[in-house]
């Protein structure tokens, strides 16, 4: 009997009793304007990253809609890269995955490699990525991701990895990207970087929009809440 | 650690308040007024095909990357691309050619190429199906990170299998010559056969990718379905001979002989093996080969496209 029910659910595409459906974001509604830099804050699992993916159209909402002008894109290319390929091939693959043309990638290839600093200690770009240290791999991933311009740029926290020198460079690059992009969303647990970057903040908690307003006001309320 | 630090403003800055004429408009009305589009909406079929074509370089690069990544840890590296099918053929040679010696009415020099052709050609469809069912479900990270027409994934996996098959064809050619089947003009029939089978496989991969994205359990079920399909396609024996021996009804022989795997296998045998004449082919074989390719190719593409906006949900 139980088996038949399970089969029925598979056939009829009903959510199974075993796998609960969890709504990571519920009933969030807001309007973002061109030129705004919007921060998303909230505790772990509050739905920040899910909201970001929903805005980008990558994880479509079950109910409701997201309207955008231009294609919002997440800054990040990690999922397209393969550890068994050389850095060189990964630059090409990552660029193509982000929708760049081969000519564009060739044009920017040297910039990407120079920016990552992979070749500072020898010819590492022709080695498979699995031979890189975690810092080196993270630097190359960021360099590839940051090579493309975006309409609506969405940045998930902890992007700027690597040593101090590389962090400085990547911060500067994100500033450049932000200037080119119309609207910026930033997810971060670092209130300082939210304050530095954003003029408006959405505070999410348990998937619901708790507060939406000027950075100072929202971050102060958030800090008060988390300090307790 | 500060990720982004820019001080374009000091202290509190007034948030851009919505302009008053927009007050009271719903989100949908606002979006319409300012020409916003639904994020992640499914494009029309023609536009979707165009977007997919635009990503052709990504599709090719992704399939080749997957192919090379397969053996990159091995000491012999890419030699395994040819060595794997070669070892497969050797195993079949010893089991069926030397140990069992059961080749029905065929001589050994016909049976071994007959068998290996069947195995390689069926493996092409089989592995495309297996890769297809996991194409979306196994790559959700990629689907949720970057924008591209999702059909790029199953198409890319089917293309990877085609490249794999081309390595196997090198082995097959050596084997054929070894057993005295010299290259002739009929070998040119490989091209249309492989093209049609590739279109068929791609369509199959697209269909299974959509089904597998909703019901990942299919990946567990599929190997059994495929094995049944293999026995029903005459990979290791002449299906018509076996069925006749068992006094199977005539229509059953026709139906099984018209199944796409059997059609492509028999066409390949017909092109390559001297002792495998046109009399062994089912009637209207090219119409069947083209029809299956068209049906699955077009049908699979449309079927996959219909769920395009939902693949990220997993």
Residue B104: helix, strand or coil by DSSP? coil
Q: Which of B19, B39, B210, B221 to mutate to test the interface with A (most CBs of A within 10 A)?
A: B39
Instruction: Pick the closest to residue A142 from B5, B3, B55, B312 (CA basis).
Output: B3
CA distance A9 to chain B (A): 10
Q: Characterize the bridge pairing of strands A208-214 and A200-205.
A: antiparallel
Cα A157 to the center of its chain, rounded Å? 7
Per the document, the length of chain A is 228
Residue A154: beta bridge partners? A74, A185
pLDDT of residue A157: 64
Q: Check A178 against B6: CB less than 8 A apart.
A: yes
Residue A155: beta bridge partners? A186
Contact status of A195 with chain B (Cβ, < 8 Å): no
CA distance B68 to chain A (A): 8
Angle (nearest 5°) at CA A88 between A82 and A92: 75
Residue B132 burial (C-beta neighbours within 10 Å; 0-12, 13-18, 19+): buried
Give the dihedral of Cα atoms A126, A127, A133, A135; nearest 10 deg.
20
At residue B5 the predicted structure's pLDDT band, cuts being 50, 70 and 90, is very low
Which residue has 């029905």 as its token pair? Answer: B104
Of B6, B14, B147, the CB nearest to A71: B147
Contact status of B76 with chain A (Cβ, < 8 Å): no
Contacting residues of A for B142, CB less than 8 Å apart: 79-80, 97
pLDDT tens readout for residues A44-86: 888 888 888 888 888 888 888 888 887 888 888 888 899 899 9
Per the document, the length of chain B is 314
Q: Which residues 104-133 in chain A show a CB within 8 A of chain B?
A: 128
Question: In angstroms, what CA-CA distances link B100 with B104, B217, B232, B233?
Answer: 11, 37, 21, 21
Q: Per residue in A66-100, is it b (16+ CB within 10 Å) or e — as a string? A: bbbbeebbbbbbbbbbbebbbbbbbbbbbbbbbbb
pLDDT of residue B12: 36
Full set of structural domains in chain A with CATH: 26-75+150-228 (3.40.50.300), 84-149 (no CATH)
Question: In angstroms, what CA-CA distances link B42 with A27, A69, A116?
Answer: 23, 16, 36
Q: Check B39 against A155: CB less than 8 A apart.
A: no
Contact status of A43 with chain B (Cβ, < 8 Å): no
Question: In angstroms, what CA-CA distances link B108 with B88, B94, B111, B236, B250?
Answer: 17, 12, 5, 13, 28
Span B52-80, mean pLDDT? 89
Give the separation between CA A186 and CA B72, rounded to whole angstroms: 37
Span B18-45, mean pLDDT? 76
* Full-model pTM: 0.85
Contacting residues of B for A29, CB less than 8 Å apart: 27
Instruction: Pick the closest to residue B214 from B304, B153, B147 (CA basis).
Output: B304
Q: Check B3 against A199: CB less than 8 A apart.
A: no
Radius of gyration of chain A (CA): 20
pLDDT tens readout for residues A141-160: 989 988 887 777 888 765 55
Q: Which residues 144-163 in chain B show a CB within 8 A of chain A?
A: 144-148
Contacting residues of A for B310, CB less than 8 Å apart: 60
At residue B195 the predicted structure's pLDDT band, cuts being 50, 70 and 90, is very high
pLDDT tens readout for residues A167-220: 778 778 877 887 777 788 888 887 887 888 788 999 999 888 999 999 999 999
Cα B231 to the center of its chain, rounded Å? 20
Give the start-end residues of each E strand in chain B: 37-38
Give the separation between CA B38 and CA B32, rounded to whole angstroms: 10
> Would the pLDDT of B130 be above 60?
yes
Show Cβ contacts of residue B68 under 8 Å, excluding neighbours closer than 6 positions: A84, A85, B78
Contact status of B40 with chain A (Cβ, < 8 Å): yes
Give the separation between CA A93 and CA A87, rounded to whole angstroms: 10
At residue A5 the predicted structure's pLDDT band, cuts being 50, 70 and 90, is low
Show Cβ contacts of residue B290 under 8 Å, excluding neighbours closer than 6 positions: B196
Give the separation between CA A226 and CA B48, rounded to whole angstroms: 47
**In this structure, what token pair is assigned to residue B276?**
């495998």
Show Cβ contacts of residue A177 under 8 Å, excluding neighbours closer than 6 positions: A75, A146, A149, A150, A153
Whether residue B300 contacts residue A41, with contact meaning beta carbons closer than 8 Å, is answered with: no
Contacting residues of A for B152, CB less than 8 Å apart: none
Whether residue B113 contacts residue B271, with contact meaning beta carbons closer than 8 Å, is answered with: no
At residue B104 the predicted structure's pLDDT band, cuts being 50, 70 and 90, is low
Residue A166 burial (C-beta neighbours within 10 Å; 0-12, 13-18, 19+): buried
> Would the pLDDT of B16 be above 90?
no
CA distance A151 to chain B (A): 13
pLDDT tens readout for residues A23-52: 878 888 888 888 888 999 988 888 888 888
Helix (H) or strand (E) holding B71: none
Nearest CA in chain B to A76: B145
CA distance B88 to chain A (A): 25
Nearest CA in chain A to B152: A97
pLDDT of residue B176: 92
Whether residue A37 contacts residue A199, with contact meaning beta carbons closer than 8 Å, is answered with: yes
């Amino acid at each position: 009997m139980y088996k038949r029910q399970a089969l029925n659910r598979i056939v009829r595409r009903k959510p199974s009793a075993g796998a609960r459906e969890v709504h990571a974001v519920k009933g969030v509604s807001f309007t973002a304007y061109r030129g705004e830099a919007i921060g998303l804050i909230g505790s772990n699992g509050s739905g920040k990253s899910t909201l970001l993916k929903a805005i980008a159209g990558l994880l479509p909402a079950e109910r409701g809609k997201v309207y955008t002008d231009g294609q919002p894109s997440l800054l990040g290319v990690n999922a397209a890269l393969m550890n068994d390929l050389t850095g060189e091939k990964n630059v090409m693959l990552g660029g193509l995955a982000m929708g760049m043309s081969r000519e564009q990638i060739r044009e920017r290839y040297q910039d990407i490699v120079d920016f990552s600093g992979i070749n500072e200690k020898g010819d590492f770009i022709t080695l498979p990525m699995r031979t890189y240290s975690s810092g080196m791999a993270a630097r190359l991933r960021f360099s590839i991701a940051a090579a493309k311009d975006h309409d609506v740029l969405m940045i998930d926290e902890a992007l700027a990895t690597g040593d101090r020198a590389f962090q400085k460079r990547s911060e500067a690059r994100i500033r450049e990207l932000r200037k080119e992009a119309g609207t910026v969303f930033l997810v971060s647990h670092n209130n300082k970087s939210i304050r530095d970057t954003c003029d408006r903040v959405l505070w999410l908690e348990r998937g619901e929009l708790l507060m939406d307003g000027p950075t100072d006001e929202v971050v102060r309320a958030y800090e008060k809440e988390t300090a307790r | 650690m500060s990720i982004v630090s820019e001080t374009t403003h000091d202290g509190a800055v007034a948030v851009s308040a919505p302009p008053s004429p927009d007050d009271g408009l719903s989100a949908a009305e606002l979006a319409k007024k300012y020409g916003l589009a639904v994020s992640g909406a499914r494009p029309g079929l023609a536009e979707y095909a165009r977007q997919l074509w635009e990503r052709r370089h990504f599709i090719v690069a992704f399939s080749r990357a997957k192919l090379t990544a397969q053996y990159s840890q091995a000491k012999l590296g890419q030699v395994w691309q040819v060595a794997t099918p070669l070892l497969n053929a050797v195993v079949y040679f010893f089991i069926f050619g030397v140990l069992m010696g059961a080749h029905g009415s065929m001589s050994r020099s016909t049976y071994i190429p007959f068998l290996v052709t069947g195995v390689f050609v069926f493996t092409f469809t089989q592995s495309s199906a297996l890769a297809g069912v996991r194409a979306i479900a196994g790559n959700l990270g990629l689907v949720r990170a970057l924008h591209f027409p999702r059909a790029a994934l199953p198409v890319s996996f089917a293309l990877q299998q085609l490249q794999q098959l081309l390595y196997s064809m090198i082995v097959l050619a050596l084997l054929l010559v070894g057993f005295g089947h010299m290259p002739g003009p009929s070998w040119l029939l490989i091209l249309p056969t492989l093209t049609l089978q590739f279109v068929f496989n791609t369509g199959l991969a697209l269909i299974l990718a959509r089904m597998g994205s909703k019901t990942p359990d299919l990946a567990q079920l599929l190997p059994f379905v495929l094995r049944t399909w293999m026995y029903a396609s005459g990979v290791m024996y002449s299906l018509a001979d076996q069925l006749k021996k068992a006094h199977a009804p005539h229509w059953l022989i026709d139906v099984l002989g018209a199944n796409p795997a059997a059609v492509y296998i028999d066409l390949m045998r017909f092109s390559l093996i001297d002792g495998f004449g046109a009399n062994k082919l089912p009637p209207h074989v090219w119409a069947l080969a083209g029809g299956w390719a068209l049906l699955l190719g077009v049908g699979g593409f449309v079927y996959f496209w219909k769920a395009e906006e939902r693949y990220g949900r997993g």
